[in-house]
Structure 1
């Protein structure tokens, strides 16, 4: 009977694509996830025909469609190059991403391109070795 229980446990734990969580030995409040997918999105702030996307325009996009699209994400101001020219950009990163999040990211990229006459938004699917929130304990 114990072998059957062990077999069922192993079968469930090893199923591909399953989300598993374990606790580290030093802290029971720190979860380690094996859903090791992430997404990075690179939003350029220069317009192809000149001009830039204003801070107010970006803020409206950030607090509207972007914030409503994902449960949580990190946002970084950056500079990048596109077609030989330097431009301001925003990098959005989210971890513990699902297939649905990738579909949402692509739809959001298309919306941004339409709103601000952009050629493209770079969307990168990441494989991450480990995702862990580390608390004060």
Structure 2
């Protein structure tokens, strides 16, 4: 092997590693992005009865308050649905370090991703129907409960 070949080998390996990382990220991000597009973005909250006289607050969408909605990484605006999700993650799922600020930022994304992993769900960091149905939600009167 010549001096020139041995000197370029680390660069070539680094380039291949970077390419592999980009391709891997593309493969894992693409399905999540397409699945997220199926549901509207949660923009409200809804109280859902879970026990006699008790209800939990969950993210919802629109005037019909449908529970089939999603929340994704978005730091541009505060959202009451995100605040309800963060309160449940912090109070019911043990993510005590999470700020309840209504912004779906990196902290919230990481908490949802970790939660999905702990419940055996596909890890994409997106709050959607599977995450909603698996996690516990906050109730001021009951504490925490699942739907």
Task: Please classify the TM superposition score into its range, dividing by the shorter chain length.
Answer: under 0.3
Structure having greater relative contact order (Cα 8 Å, sep ≥ 6)? 1
Relative to the length of structure 2, the TM-score reads 0.27
Relative to the length of structure 1, the TM-score reads 0.28
By percentage of residues, which structure has more helix?
2
